[in-house]
Structure 1
Amino acid sequence: MSSQAAVIQLCYENINGSCIKTSYSPGSRVILYFAFGFGALLAILGNLLVMISILHFKQLHSPANFLLASLACADFLVGATVMPFSMVRSVESCWYFGESYCKFHTCFDASFCYSSIFHLCFISIDRYIAVTDPLVYPTKFTLLVSGICIVFSWLLAITFSFSLFYTGANDDGLEELVSALTCVGGCQMAMNETWVLIDFLLFFIPTLVMVILYCKIFLVAKLQARKIESMNCKTESSSESYKARVSKRERKAAKTLGIAVIAFVISWFPYFIETIIDAFLGFITPTYIYEILSWFAYFNSAINPLIYAFFYPWFRRAIKLIVTGKVFSGHSSTIDLFSEQIKVLN
């Protein structure tokens, strides 16, 4: 018995009621810290580049791109305020940042997740309008509409998350279980069955809207591609040629953002399914499963900049200008990013 007690490590050795610490070998700790740290760094730097690109270069000042910049802000904040602290919790199996920041951390986590969902939903609506009616689109999705979408995405996400966790509504009816599982050095918020279902619906309904809209987008894009092919066989007017170019550009943007939506769903769906199963089975999921699914979701914040870099030539050119410091030169904000040869707009 004494040998077994000797190997038990606590998060806080001199505090009664401390959580039990799970120890990893030094090699495993280094690998985990590197993997999680790299993900956090990629989320911070990658999304920072997206925000700087869109806000600095005037050519990128459009309602749709401002939505992208706001989405990048949510992902940036995940990398800056959530992932570093989760990294220590995951590797050390203890929470060393105090009970107050534990609640803040949970609220930040939920707020930025919901904000991303709402942003992606509005982006899918934007892309649907752009692809189905590209010539009228600029009059429908204006800067004002984009601003309303951004404010709604942030306000609803933050209000819901902070209200839920700071009123304690999330663990109503689970007082005995929470009391039994609570220990010093732990940071996991319990969600009762009612709120876990609401939580899932806030993820599922916007996701369903996105999937339906993108299915429609790709059907419309397929029809437009056929029309353009048939027009190429005939003499087309300048207006038809312009419409074809606009349609092609909007379809490409929709495809890129469709990939971002798929990546988001794949990253977050397992986590939300686990939370539902866990709530209805009495929170029996092992901690390491929860951590794996959480990090699978966190890494989504680092994926979007990689998708943009792969599919958007303008983003690659913007990165090059930012990294080389050319953005500090005069009139850099008017550089033409859509031209193969970068030039300053008059």
Structure 2
Amino acid sequence: MPEELTNCSLCCCTTTNKIFMVVFMISLILAILFGNLLTLAVVSGTKHFHTPQGYLKASLAVADLAVGVFVVPISVYTEISLMVYNSMPEWTTRNSQTSPFHPCSFIGPVFAGCTLVSITTIFLLTIERSIAVLKPLHKESVITKKRTSILIVFSWMGSFFLAISPMVFSNEIALEYNPCSRMCNYALGSADFPSRAWKILLLFPAFDFTLLGGTVVINIISLTTIRQHSKRRKHLAETENQSATKPTFSDIKAAKTIGTLTLAFTASFTPIAVFVVGNVLGNEWCTFSFFAFWILTTNSCWNVIIYGVRDQKFRSRACQLLTSARLNTASKKTEYENTVNGGKTDEEAAKQP
């Protein structure tokens, strides 16, 4: 079994590939932590973002942050152990059915649950933006902070219930460290492939694509409405009555941003759905599974990039926070130099005999 683990796919065939993979994973952790902590700082520290949309973006950032804190580090630890000791940790040779305290029993549902949270949050963001675009006069009364908070709580509860449902409703499904994807994944606890087990496994792509499909349709409707509004604005003079029933420029920009988020997540999730269906049909697709799972994982650091490119207010506030942090660091360094050198900088102290 250990030999099988060490020679599983293209990602870990050579020492160079293994080093590159570990460097990639560590870089991904840093990018996820930096991007999503910055998003949370902007949303929580700026009154402009204390809105239903801001709450949803914060929920999405927390889900992505959990991937960087819990999911990727376990893969880094395992791969570094392989490089240093030339063998995987012992728990990777077993699954959650044969080990009472298997790490994947926690990591697997976290990854699945956070992925589902991301999908449901993007769906809720799309609904929120579509109401702002299609029914601007009803936006304030329909979309409230309280309702949004309740929906966020339900999305987290529902997503994590769905994430643990394979183990709850089937004794044949376990969690294991997959030698192909280099992650904790759902797997069959036995060699057989009972029909009930594959139906439960197919529940994930079915649910995900249902939500993503609905999200894409709603985005198309919203973007079509925005396009029609832009055409009318070119041909008709703006009147007070007309402008009162049309979406604001801010709502239009936000709708386009959510559309970009949807496109990015759909592109990153599609390979996983293809792999799950193929796996259920009996295809192993070892190398493909590695790329599929890690493409999905990299999506956890893309949201802040999309916000920064598409949302000028977010970009400005993020730059202010980063500049402020840099100035605070420089100020503390100066204070330290003054304390150590009696009010002189390091350069002045060095010149003094």
TM-score greater than 0.5 by the shorter chain: yes
- Show the counterpart of 1:303: 302
Instruction: Mark the CA change 1:49 to 1:292 in structure 2 (over 3 Å): closer, same or farther.
Output: same
- How big is each residue's C-alpha offset from its partner over 1:133-169, in whole Å with a ceiling of 9 and x where there is no partner? 123211111011111220111000112212433x372
Measured in 2, the distance between the counterparts of 1:34 and 1:74 equals 23
- Show the counterpart of 2:144: 142
Task: Judge conservation of contact 1:170–1:190 (CA < 8 Å) in 2.
Answer: no
Measured in 2, the distance between the counterparts of 1:126 and 1:186 equals 34
5+ residue gaps, structure 1: 1-9, 12-17, 330-346
- Show the counterpart of 1:259: 260
Instruction: Mark the CA change 1:255 to 1:186 in structure 2 (over 3 Å): closer, same or farther.
Output: closer
AA in 2 matched with 1:214 = N
Instruction: Mark the CA change 1:135 to 1:327 in structure 2 (over 3 Å): closer, same or farther.
Output: farther
Higher mean displacement: 139-148 or 79-88? 79-88
Q: 1:210 aligns with which of 205, 209, 215?
A: 215
Say which SS state the counterpart of residue 284 (structure 2) adopts: coil
- How big is each residue's C-alpha offset from its partner over 1:263-307, in whole Å with a ceiling of 9 and x where there is no partner? 1011011111111111122xx414332121100110111111111
Task: Judge conservation of contact 2:202–2:276 (CA < 8 Å) in 1.
Answer: no
- Say whether 1:70 aligns with 2:59: yes
- How big is each residue's C-alpha offset from its partner over 1:78-101, in whole Å with a ceiling of 9 and x where there is no partner? 111112223455674976384521
AA in 1 matched with 2:132 = A
AA in 1 matched with 2:322 = V
Measured in 1, the distance between the counterparts of 2:241 and 2:185 equals 59
Measured in 2, the distance between the counterparts of 1:240 and 1:29 equals 61
Q: 1:96 aligns with which of 89, 96, 101?
A: 89
Measured in 2, the distance between the counterparts of 1:44 and 1:157 equals 22
Measured in 1, the distance between the counterparts of 2:146 and 2:263 equals 28
Measured in 2, the distance between the counterparts of 1:30 and 1:117 equals 32
- Show the counterpart of 2:199: 194
- Show the counterpart of 2:122: 120
Measured in 2, the distance between the counterparts of 1:189 and 1:35 equals 24
Instruction: Mark the CA change 1:72 to 1:95 in structure 2 (over 3 Å): closer, same or farther.
Output: farther
Instruction: Mark the CA change 1:97 to 1:205 in structure 2 (over 3 Å): closer, same or farther.
Output: farther
Measured in 2, the distance between the counterparts of 1:270 and 1:170 equals 27
Measured in 2, the distance between the counterparts of 1:188 and 1:242 equals 51
Q: 1:226 aligns with which of 224, 227, 231?
A: 231
- Show the counterpart of 1:60: 49
- Say whether 1:80 aligns with 2:77: no
Measured in 1, the distance between the counterparts of 2:183 and 2:266 equals 28
AA in 1 matched with 2:302 = I
Measured in 2, the distance between the counterparts of 1:143 and 1:155 equals 18
Task: Judge conservation of contact 2:52–2:143 (CA < 8 Å) in 1.
Answer: yes
- Say whether 1:47 aligns with 2:40: no
- How big is each residue's C-alpha offset from its partner over 1:101-147, in whole Å with a ceiling of 9 and x where there is no partner? 11111111110011111111111111110110123211111011111
- How big is each residue's C-alpha offset from its partner over 1:238-281, in whole Å with a ceiling of 9 and x where there is no partner? 4545655x432211111111111111011011111111111122
Say which SS state the counterpart of residue 285 (structure 1) adopts: coil
AA in 1 matched with 2:110 = F
- TM-score scaled to structure 2, two decimals? 0.76
Task: Judge conservation of contact 2:36–2:301 (CA < 8 Å) in 1.
Answer: yes
Measured in 2, the distance between the counterparts of 1:118 and 1:63 equals 15
Measured in 1, the distance between the counterparts of 2:233 and 2:63 equals 38
- Show the counterpart of 1:336: none
Task: Judge conservation of contact 1:107–1:161 (CA < 8 Å) in 2.
Answer: yes
AA in 2 matched with 1:219 = T
Measured in 1, the distance between the counterparts of 2:133 and 2:306 equals 20
Instruction: Mark the CA change 1:122 to 1:188 in structure 2 (over 3 Å): closer, same or farther.
Output: closer
5+ residue gaps, structure 2: 92-98, 189-196, 329-353
Measured in 1, the distance between the counterparts of 2:129 and 2:88 equals 42
- Show the counterpart of 2:6: 21
Measured in 2, the distance between the counterparts of 1:96 and 1:61 equals 45
AA in 2 matched with 1:52 = A
Task: Judge conservation of contact 1:88–1:95 (CA < 8 Å) in 2.
Answer: no
Say which SS state the counterpart of residue 136 (structure 2) adopts: coil
- Say whether 1:106 aligns with 2:108: yes
- Show the counterpart of 2:293: 294
Measured in 1, the distance between the counterparts of 2:29 and 2:171 equals 28
